[in-house]
Amino acid sequence: MPETDKKAPRVINKSGTLKMTDETAAKKDIRDISGRKMERKNRRDRVRAEAGPKEFDDITIAVDRVSRTVAGGRRMRFKALVAVGNHKNKVGIGVAKGNDVTTAVAKATSKAKKSMVTFNMDGETICHETRTKVTGADILMKPAAPGTGIIAGGTVRSIMGLTGVKNLISKSLGSTNKVNIAYAVIEGLRQQVPRKEWNGGKKIETKAEKPAIKSAKKGEKK
């Protein structure tokens, strides 16, 4: 086969568009209207830059279709419940509606990031037992020993998966509404108080001190 045929570009479609080799494309200069050389940006490099480590992770807990009756009939929309957390001690939830699922999830994620709360932890569990009520939802959460894992329902498990809590026992005692349960969980985490702040920081009397006080009082009466 002649050398001229090897170097000749190949036609890849009926319109006569020629295929350029990778070496030729890399050496080709891109210039603007004024003739200045422009920097060549590769799409793969842009994707790598956007795929860096994320500070917060999000999870879509529920997407429901809702309707509203207006003068012209029913208007169908979508409602999304999204939780956002940093796998440490910061978490938030957001609820939003949109004309399609993508819009609803994006709006809910934005709301969740704006309403994040920072809560106290005791190692890999919560500081103390708490029971919170939000409308019909009633959530009981208890600290657990290391190795227990997260014993909870779907909504509570999804939210705790975005925090640093690894051991927890939870029970839903009221409504099964996912939005109300999510708000009740966030309120329970917000109420967590560190162990050093229990009893208002007052000194607790030991068992050895109490009998001494009683014997002194008996001696005064005699």
pTM for the full predicted model: 0.66
Q: Which domains does the chain have, with CATH numbers?
A: 57-118 (3.30.160.20), 130-194 (3.30.230.10)
Contacts of residue 143, defined as CB under 8 A and 6 or more positions apart, other chains included, come to: 122, 125, 126, 127, 128, 129, 167, 168, 169
Token pair 């705790």 in the structure block, residue: 160
Identify the CA nearest to 157 among candidates 129, 178, 131, 130.
178
- Examine the pLDDT at 3 and tell me if it is beyond 60: no
User: Who has greater pLDDT, 114 or 8?
Assistant: 114
User: Who has greater pLDDT, 49 or 184?
Assistant: 184
Alpha-carbon span 21 to 26, nearest angstrom: 9
- Predicted confidence at residue 21, as pLDDT, reads 62
Mean pLDDT of 80-88: 93
The SS3 assignment for 18 reads: strand
Mind listing the pLDDT tens digit for each residue in 128-178? Answer: 999 999 999 999 999 999 999 999 988 999 999 999 899 999 999 999 999
Alpha helices by DSSP H, 64-201? 101-114, 154-160, 178-190
- Predicted confidence at residue 36, as pLDDT, reads 73
User: Who has greater pLDDT, 71 or 200?
Assistant: 71
Alpha-carbon span 156 to 106, nearest angstrom: 21
Mind listing the pLDDT tens digit for each residue in 61-70? Answer: 999 999 999 8
